[in-house]
Amino acid sequence: MKKIFILTLILLPFLSSAQNCNCSENFRFLVEKIKNNYVGYKDKITVSNRARFDVFTDSLQKSANSAEKLACLDLCLDWLAFFEDKHLSISFTPDGATKDEISAFFKTAEKTYWNEVDLNSYLRRNKTKLDKVEGYL
């Protein structure tokens, strides 16, 4: 009995870290949280787009039932994008994600190639058109 107890204590950290993202549950939580707490929900989900929104939500919920961690984040972000509100956002820290998983996640991210000279040139050329927050010149 003592050996089983000690073995359990030794294996407990490994067993607890093996838990996977329950995307289905997380997605359902996100949907409910937004429906109940997002002040713009009634403005964004109207009679004219309700059916399309419900079909979209249901299709993502089905995908969430088998989604892995990083795919789950993309799925939730896709759902939030329906609202077209930059104030709605989520993120997560991928504990234990491999280098390949992280690379795959950021592979589709927008890339810009600016250097200091090009940026300064852009700011000078557009000084009269830019909002003050965009420039420092």
Residue 88 near residue 80 (C-beta atoms within 8 A): yes
**Which tens digit of pLDDT belongs to each residue from 10-65?**
544 444 444 456 999 999 999 999 999 999 999 999 999 999 999 999 999 999 99
Backbone angles phi, psi at 19, to 5 degrees: -70, 135
pTM here is: 0.57
Please report which confidence band the pLDDT of residue 3 belongs to, taking 50, 70 and 90 as the band edges.
Answer: very low
